[in-house]
Amino acid sequence: MSLDSLKVDLTDQTAIVTGASQGLGRAMAIGLAGAGARVACVARNAEKLADTVEVIKQAGGDAEVMAANVSDSESVDNIVSTVAENWGRLDIMVNNAGITRDNLLPAMSDEQWDDVININLRGAFLFSRAASKVMMRARSGRIINISSVSGLIGNAGQTNYSASKAGMIGMTRSLSKELAKRKVTVNAVAPGFIASEMTEALGDAILSEVKKAIPARRLGTPDDVTACVLFLASPAAAYVTGQVLTVDGGMTG
């Protein structure tokens, strides 16, 4: 799909996107900036983040690099306070940073479990906690957690990843109940198989079988996911909270 047909105006709003150095995070940061938001791009790799920011600026948008480990509480608090103080507001928080450390559970190491939970779930918790304080005071805001269909149906070899993504869904539903009266919405997006370098590495044979399991008979695109994020970030979604928007071509339908 093309985002050109989606009319979302986020002029004068500010957003933080974690995991913005590549993949879905990069696409969402670019999409939010294209809708008029000023975007703080967060990830550990400052060089890759700089490339994302450059793409945004070349298109006439506004963004800044904020390199950090999303599982570090002090770094997260500093980023959120810097955005709120220097930019005057924080309207949109997209918790997208995520990693995989796949292994069957009997062979999974403590480190493989902890690394995934710390980045995927703890990172989302830390940014949601810090962002919610700013948004509650403003009585306005959007927190959008990027989960996965793995958090809904599980996936062999990804017990750690599936647990982290299921945890994000539980956090989304609970936090939405806490913040609704302050006019802050909290929703999750759960992508299925999305075209990326990771899916390309599976090879044509496996991808062919994957597509057969998807009623839409194709992989999703980063724009498919970004469109849902833009809607949830927009004024049109003011009454939508505590929801999980599944973007999987009907795979879990």
By annotation, the residues acting in catalysis are 161
Nearby residues of 171 by Cβ (< 8 Å), 6 or more positions away: 121, 124, 125, 128, 145
Q: Which two tokens stand for residue 237?
A: 């979604």
CA distance linking residue 45 with residue 131, whole number of Å? 22
Q: E strand or H helix at 83, and its extent?
A: helix 73-87
Per-state percent for the chain, helix, strand, coil, to nearest 5: 50, 15, 30
Q: Which two tokens stand for residue 161?
A: 């990843």
Q: What is the torsional sign of CA 128, 52, 227, 217?
A: negative
> Tokens 């079988």 label which residue?
209
CA distance linking residue 118 with residue 120, whole number of Å? 6
CA distance linking residue 94 with residue 187, whole number of Å? 10
CA distance linking residue 147 with residue 192, whole number of Å? 10
